[in-house]
Amino acid sequence: MSKILVTGGCGYIGSHTVVDLTDHGFNAISADDFSNSHQKMVDGISSLINKKHVNYEVNLCDMEATERIFKENPDIEAVIHFAAHIYVPESVENPIKYYRNNLNNLLNVMECCKRYGVDNLIFSSSCAVYGNTKELPVTESTPFGEAECPYARTKQMGEQIIRDFCLANPKFNAVLLRYFNPAGSHESSKIGEAPILENTHLVPILTEVAIGHRKSMTVFGTDYPTRDGSCVRDFIHVMDLAHAHTKAVEYLLQKKNETNCDVFNLGIGDGVTVLEAINAFEKINGIKLNYSLGERRAGDVAAIYADTSKSKNKLGWTPKRNIEDIVKSAWDWERNKSWLTE
């Protein structure tokens, strides 16, 4: 049973990935300092994997603490690196925080990989690396555009750091996974999206409005060059996304990679506007949402969605769930997540 270290493994995508890895025969441990996740998420993970989940409460910017994980687990075969600050508006307001955290923790993890002979890394990147591209759908070879915010730039820089490291270390293997707006939750509703900081992602904002935690929400921008004037995004169910990480680990451990630094887009492959997502939520859950139309928000791109043919052909990965599955599971989670803060 191969041991996989999942950094940020008690966060949103990380927790679902731990469960999917376990479901497919891997032994997943995590490192999460709970700076933007709940400690009780360990209980949710444990209930789904039928054993106590092992998490190291470590800030990965602390090199000594990070190294201790590798010392205590010499059988780690791969690292999936999620740990990062992720909020676009916060990154615009506090860029130094984002550069310091997102780059330093990546550098520490990679240094430990080198010291302790861990030759496989899966990096959590983002569709934000493409910037406000005019090429749609985007492919893995679409050139990077100007980063729209410091968060996006840390992902661009993180990818380049890994490419340089792979060039200097031919035996090291990396996969860069570029996400397109993960949403939804595990079908059990035992884990889901529950950040400590205020939600800035669309789907959990919809559920918070629906349950009454927010009085209303704003659609930022109605004059984009899209079919209804709102932004176009490629939403992907978090369990489909989690399984892509399992497939990426298998891809590297089974030595299917032709290059030691590969990149894949992960999305449904079809764009949905913000207003279409709202309409899907209202239809599938039978709830009318209170929202208003507002001005554009700094850091947002007009439209972006993925060409996922490479992921299908090389990773053998195809998403199984659509926008209606996403908003249904998200609403189920919203109604059942109160145990986290009890």
Cite the active site residues: 151
For 140, other C-beta atoms within 10 Å of its C-beta total 16
CA dist 320 and 102 (Å) reads 31
Whether the CB-CB separation of 240 and 267 falls below 8 Å is answered with: no
Q: Is 131 exposed, middle or buried (0-12, 13-18, 19+ CB in 10 A)?
A: buried
Residue type, 168: A
- With a CB cutoff of 8 Å and minimum separation 6, the contacts of 33 are 57, 58, 59, 60
Cis peptide bond N-terminal to 137, omega within 30: yes
Question: Which H, E and C letters describe 232-253, residue by residue?
Answer: EECCEEHHHHHHHHHHHHHHHH
User: Under DSSP, is residue 17 helix (H, G, I), strand (E, B) or coil?
Assistant: helix
CA dist 7 and 76 (Å) reads 13
Residue 337 gets which letter from DSSP?
G
List of E strands, the chain: 3-7, 27-31, 55-56, 76-81, 120-126, 173-179, 182-183, 217-220, 232-233, 236-237, 261-266, 272-273, 291-294
- CA nearest to 328, candidates 228, 155, 128, 192: 192
- CA nearest to 275, candidates 294, 255, 298: 294
The helix (run of H) or strand (run of E) holding residue 180 is none
